[in-house]
């Protein structure tokens, strides 16, 4: 397994290969494990629950925390879970909040790429279009 610092330097939507997931979750749930590792494990579990449309589990995991509160990492994850659910209005609301916190308008372009990688074509196109319309001299 890689170090926590390396893990946290990865894209917020990253998940370990299926074969390594149990080892990571076990490490995260050990007594004294860093809270950040537990947040990562919750994210992986919430993503799996979202793909299974287990929205009660997704909500419970999200309430426990999927990253540092009010961080771009957690916000991107929450937005992605909403996109998986098909609720692009809520996705957009979460992304707007993250951009206000971070001041990084490139987030929409990066989020569009994440959606495309997740197979969420409608969301990817929507956020590509929005990101393109917010460039200076466009729109």
Whether 138 has a pLDDT exceeding 60, the answer reads no
What gap in Å lies between CA 41 and CA 68, rounded to an integer?
13
Q: 66 or 137, which is more confident?
A: 66
Best CA proximity match to 107, nearest among 80, 136, 82? 80
pLDDT band of 79, cuts 50, 70, 90: very high
pLDDT reported for residue 92 = 94
Tokens of 89: 């209005």
Residues 88 and 123: beta-carbon distance below 8 Å: yes
What gap in Å lies between CA 82 and CA 47, rounded to an integer?
10
pLDDT band of 134, cuts 50, 70, 90: low
Buried b (16+ CB within 10 A) or exposed e, 3-21: eeeeebeeebbebbeeeee
Q: Which residues fall within 8 angstroms of residue 85, CB to CB, at 6 or more apart?
A: 50, 53, 55
């Amino acid at each position: 397994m890689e170090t926590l610092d390396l893990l946290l330097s990865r894209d917020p939507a990253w998940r370990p290969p299926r074969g390594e997931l149990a080892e990571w979750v076990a490490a995260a749930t050990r007594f004294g494990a860093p809270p950040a590792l537990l947040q990562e494990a919750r994210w992986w579990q919430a993503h799996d629950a979202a793909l299974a449309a287990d929205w009660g589990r997704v909500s419970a995991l999200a309430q426990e925390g999927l990253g540092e509160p009010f961080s771009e990492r957690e916000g991107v994850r929450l937005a992605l879970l909403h996109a998986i659910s098909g609720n692009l209005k809520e996705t957009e609301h979460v992304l707007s909040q993250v951009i206000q916190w971070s001041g990084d308008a490139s987030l929409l372009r990066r989020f569009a790429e994440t959606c495309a990688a997740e197979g969420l074509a409608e969301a990817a196109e929507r956020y590509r279009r929005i990101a393109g319309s917010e460039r200076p001299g466009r729109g």
